[in-house]
């Protein structure tokens, strides 16, 4: 089908085609490690968005609306997430699912390593709804779950819930999202070190 024939289709059908093409089953993230490539997709806009200005304008909002994006809360990948949020500021209002990866922190007096991360997702049912926390969280590693992990997740979710207000407002910008990520990480580390 040539591009000119695609443009003659009704907008609803074009949107259905775009949504099918730009949506992925896997979460989208930055700086993939070799072992992650099977489970995640790199944060690169789909090739379809480079076909023409018209197709880009119609399909790119669907890419951000229909996919889950992983945002790391710890350096160096956090800086990638921050840059990505800033460069995609115009699409923040249409995003509907983000997952924050928070590196596990053992208690201050433990010798356990901090291998592993907690993945907590936030979502909004529609573009106009405020952000909500998904009760289903993930332990992201091959290492066995620490015994206190459920308590850590409960604490992080409580702090995250308190921090969601700024990004649930109309006009929330990248700095608001970055602030939430940094605050949640900081509160968690402080709690574990106290």
Give per-residue pLDDT as tens, 123-155.
Answer: 999 989 999 999 999 998 877 888 889 999 999
Query: Does residue 62 sit in the same domain as residue 151?
Result: no
Query: φ, ψ for residue 77 (rounded to 5)?
Result: -70, -25
- Give the pLDDT score at 1: 44
Interacting residues of 167 by C-beta distance below 8 A, sequence separation 6+: 131, 176, 177, 180
148 with 161, same domain? yes
Convert the pLDDT of each residue in 59-77 to its tens digit: 999 999 999 999 999 888 8
Mean pLDDT by 10 residues, the chain (194 residues): 76 94 85 65 84 93 94 88 93 96 80 78 94 95 84 96 92 94 94 87
Q: Are residues 59 and 73 in the same domain?
A: no
Residues 48 and 92 in one domain: no
Burial of 119 (0-12, 13-18, 19+ CB in 10 A): middle
pTM of the predicted model over 0.85: yes
Are 80 and 174 in a shared domain?
yes
CA 8, CA 129: separation in Å to the nearest integer? 33
| Tokens of residue 141, six digits | 């590693």
Whether the CB-CB separation of 63 and 144 falls below 8 Å is answered with no
Instruction: HSE, CB side, 13 Å, CA atoms: give it for residue 35.
Output: 3
Clarify whether residues 60 and 144 are in a common domain: no
111 and 59 within one domain: no
Query: Can you give the residue range of the structural domain that contains 109?
Result: 68-194
Q: Are residues 10 and 51 in the same domain?
A: yes
pLDDT of res. 114: 64
**Cβ(163)–Cβ(188) below 8 Å:** no
Q: Which of 122, 123, 119, 20 is nearest to 62 (CA)?
A: 20
For position 113, what pLDDT does the model report?
60
Which of 19, 39, 67 is the endpoint of a domain?
A: 67
Distance of CA 88 to the CA centre of its chain: 13
Q: How many domains does the chain have?
A: 2
Q: How far apart are CA 170 and CA 107, in angstroms?
A: 38
How many residues comprise the chain? 194
- Using the 3D structure, point to which of 17, 43, 67 is the last residue of a domain: 67
pLDDT at 78: 87
Residues 84 and 62 in one domain: no
Given 17, 40, 67, which residue is the final one in a domain?
67
Q: Are 122 and 164 in contact (CB under 8 A)?
A: yes
**Residue 111 phi, psi (nearest 5):** -95, 0
If asked whether residues 78 and 43 sit together in one domain, one would say no
- At 140 the pLDDT is 86
Contact by Cβ (8 Å): 156, 118:
yes
């Amino acid at each position: 089908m040539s591009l000119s024939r695609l443009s003659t289709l009704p907008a609803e059908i074009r949107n259905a085609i775009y949504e099918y093409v730009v949506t992925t089953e896997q979460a989208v993230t930055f700086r993939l490690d070799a072992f992650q490539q099977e489970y995640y997709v790199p944060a690169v806009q789909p090739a379809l968005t480079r076909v023409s200005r018209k197709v880009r304008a119609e399909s790119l909002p669907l890419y951000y609306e229909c996919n889950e994006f992983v945002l790391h809360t710890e350096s160096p990948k956090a800086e990638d997430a921050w840059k990505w949020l800033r460069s995609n500021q115009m699409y923040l209002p249409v995003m509907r699912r983000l997952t924050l990866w928070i590196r596990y922190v053992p208690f201050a007096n433990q010798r356990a390593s901090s291998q592993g991360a907690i993945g907590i997702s936030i979502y909004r049912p529609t573009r106009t709804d405020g952000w909500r926390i998904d009760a289903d969280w993930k332990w992201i590693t091959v290492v066995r779950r620490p015994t206190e992990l459920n308590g850590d997740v409960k604490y992080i979710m409580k702090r995250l819930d308190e921090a969601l207000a700024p990004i649930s407002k109309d006009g929330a910008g990248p700095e608001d999202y970055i602030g939430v990520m940094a605050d949640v990480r900081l509160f968690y580390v402080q709690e574990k070190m106290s």
